[in-house]
Structures are given as structure tokens and as C-alpha cells.
Amino acid sequence: MISTKAMIGKDVVLGHHIVIESGVTIGDRVRIGHHSVILQNTVIGDDVSIGNGSFLGCQPFKNSKVIHHITDQKGLVIGKGSSIGNGTVIYAGSQLGEDVMVGDLASIREQTNIGHSTVVGRNAKVECRTEIGNQCVIQTGAYITADMIIEDNVFIGPEASTSNDKYMEPTKVPLKGPHIKKGARIGNNATLLPGIVIGENAIIGAGAIVTKDVADGMTVKGVAAK
């Protein structure tokens, strides 16, 4: 089903059984795979490739256990030249810059901004209200928590995990994820605890558990990392 109120550019290639809702804008030379769903008010730039079975522009939802307020989000924006893999889910209210790559089965929640030329790897999870800079690499299976800042040129290895809630129970204390500064490198399976700052060009060893700030240019490893 393709809405008559969607705007579709030139030389667009559409797969079978696609849904494109009203208010969607699709640029020129876009390719959309079979069974993908493009939800209301999503904006897709020129030369974007979208895999099979992806859901783009989902609205957030909650139950009684979710403590943050949920509102309807404005349309998802995907920058020109980006590549979106098979089976991805990207929520409304987020913006992806130009030449972003999102791997198969990845998930990106609402109010997330991703800079140009960044890679979000296969099956990676990016939670809401997170800022990710330009030319970052977030590898397979990484978990990027909500309310987090990742600056430019950061590398995050496979299965790395971040957290934003040091109390693990309902509290009025605002959630705050790690802040990873420019050029930092996070090894495979490393764990970053809430609110810490990883300095510019710092290196976190594989499997490290980081419980406190790491200075610019410093290398830490182990449990707890030091």
C-alpha cells in the first residue's frame, strides 16, 4: 500500500508488499526492499538504500513501568546516501546524517541523532535521547543506552554495553549515560557504568568494567578498570 499523499522522487525502486504512509517524502534514486514499512512523515534523502523487512518511523509506546513521558514524535529523517539493512527498526523523532550505515536487525529509538558517515553495526541497539557524532563505528551487538553522548570518531567494539541508571529502581534522579569523547576506543565486551566520562583518545580494554572517569589519552583494562 502506497499512500497518494506520499511524495516519491525520480528513479525510485520499490520491492513487493511495501507500505508507505501519508506524509512520507522519498528522494531520488532510493531503493526499498520487499515488505518494508515507511511510516507517517518519514523523510528519506536521495540515494538511500533500505533492506527487506525494515520498519522506519515507529512511534514510541510504554506501559506502567516506563517512567519517562512518551509523546508522539515528528517524522524520522534519513540523510542522503545512507544504507539501512534488513529487518531494522528506527523510531520517529530521530535524525540520521548523510552516508550513515545501519546493519541488519539493528534498532534505533526515538530522539536519537546520528552524525554523518557513522556505522551502527548488525544487531546493535541504540536507546532514546542519545547523541552520536560523525564517523563513529558501533560494532555488532553493542548496547548504547539512553541519555548518552558519543562524540566524533569513536569506536565501540562488539557486544560492548553501557548503562544510565545506577540505582536500578524508580527514582527522581535523572538518568545519565556515559559521555565518550572524541577518538576514544572501547574494546569488545567492555561495560561502561552510568554518568562516567571517557576522555579524548582514551582506550578501554576488552572486557573491562569502567566505574569512573578515564582521562584523555589514558588506557585502562580489567575489573574494575584501571
Residues 7-17 pLDDT 10s: 999 999 999 99
Report pLDDT for 67: 66
Report pLDDT for 171: 67
In angstroms, the CA 62 to CA 68 distance is 9
In angstroms, the CA 149 to CA 128 distance is 11
If asked whether residues 53 and 159 sit together in one domain, one would say no
Report pLDDT for 63: 79
**137 found inside a domain:** no
Tell me the pTM.
Answer: 0.93
**138 found inside a domain:** no
**90 found inside a domain:** yes
In angstroms, the CA 222 to CA 149 distance is 23
Nearest alpha carbon to residue 73 among 128, 28, 124? 128
Report pLDDT for 225: 80
Cα 135 off chain centre by: 13
Q: Splitting the chain (226 residues) into consecutive groups of 10 residues, what average pLDDT does each group show?
A: 95 98 98 98 98 96 71 91 98 98 98 98 97 99 98 99 82 85 98 97 98 97 87
Cell of 101: 550505515
Domain span holding position 98: 1-61+70-129
In angstroms, the CA 80 to CA 170 distance is 40
CATH number for the domain harbouring residue 211:
2.160.10.10
If asked whether residues 151 and 117 sit together in one domain, one would say no
